[in-house]
Amino acid sequence: MVEVRVPATSANMGPGFDCLGIAVNMYNRFIVEEIEEGLIFEGCDDKFKNEDNLIYRAMKKCFEKIGYKPTGLKIKIESEIPVSRGLGSSAACVIGGVVCANELAGRVLNNQQLLDLAVEVEGHPDNINPAFCGGMTVSISEGEEVVYNKVNIKEGIKFCALIPNFTLSTEKARAVLPKNVDYKQGIYNIGRTALLISALNNGDFHLLKFACKDKLHEDYRAQLIENFYPVKEQCEKLNCLGVFLSGAGPTIMVMLKEEDNDFTKNIQKFLNTLKNKWTVKELKIENQGVIVNREAELTKCS
């Protein structure tokens, strides 16, 4: 039996479209064991209890790469990360799947191979790398290889997720994006992406309100998220450091000073006036990434 814990992630981070992501302290746990035969799921809806389950598909991909054939599998899921909310639920499932499979097969693949495989399954690295390695990462794909680097963030900042009770699929959020962007828009985002990394690294948090602005995806996806702009404007009125669409949405992520104890209750009051129900959750940066617990042995994958 193997147990794997994977953190939630928030990708794009304002101007860092498809390249920036950060892990936060919300988790999915996957407990997997090889059984005599069959495929058994626990802890998920009946519609996911089949071979199309993303965790199983990731495991199967890993088994095929290694050349290992399990007799049967029992997969138990303990989930904190909401599905289709822009908090990396699919990335968590993919990482949970490939890491569990690798453990059951005898730890054949190294971390780089696991990362490359997970990105192959997921399709993009921005959620995969922070979920696997922890912290904030910059990720690119160079051919078939995933290249990433971690960003050191000064102490004094925390995050707050505003999570609505409606979902938004990544496919639908991708469909509204333009096929081409203006040259000036590209320059706009490049500068702010550099500023975002620099401000977080140096602790110049007052610059985040400028650095979080985006021209590549947020305005297009905002039309799919009811009350996106009123919520964002209210966050700014409440003196947040920065606010951005988390991943493809619909969750809105807010950056706050660590000592700010008023934002959460005040934004919840505002959200309570809206049609849809919103959950407010304060979060910290998760620096450990995926954790493997096998027969009382704790292993950090980083």
The reported pLDDT for the residue numbered 296 is: 39
The reported pLDDT for the residue numbered 144 is: 76
**242 and 203 part of one domain:** yes
| 8 Å CB contact between 261 and 232 | no
| Pairwise CA distance, residues 278 & 267, whole Å | 10
88 annotated to a ligand binding site:
yes
**63 and 91 part of one domain:** yes
**10 and 121 part of one domain:** yes
**52 and 201 part of one domain:** no
Instruction: Give the structural domain span for 294.
Output: 2-151+286-300
82 annotated to a ligand binding site:
yes
Q: Which two tokens stand for residue 258?
A: 């660590």
**80 and 48 part of one domain:** yes
Q: Which two tokens stand for residue 231?
A: 């919520």
**137 and 26 part of one domain:** yes
**166 and 273 part of one domain:** yes
User: pLDDT tens across 10-45, in order?
Assistant: 999 999 999 999 999 999 999 999 999 999 999 988
Low-confidence residues of the chain: pLDDT under 50? 296-299, 302
The reported pLDDT for the residue numbered 295 is: 59
89 annotated to a ligand binding site:
yes
92 annotated to a ligand binding site:
yes
83 annotated to a ligand binding site:
yes
**81 and 46 part of one domain:** yes
* CATH number of the domain where residue 103 is located: 3.30.230.10
169 annotated to a ligand binding site:
no
User: pTM of this prediction?
Assistant: 0.93
The reported pLDDT for the residue numbered 190 is: 97
**182 and 249 part of one domain:** yes
**16 and 136 part of one domain:** yes
**39 and 65 part of one domain:** yes
**141 and 163 part of one domain:** no
| Count: domains in the chain | 2
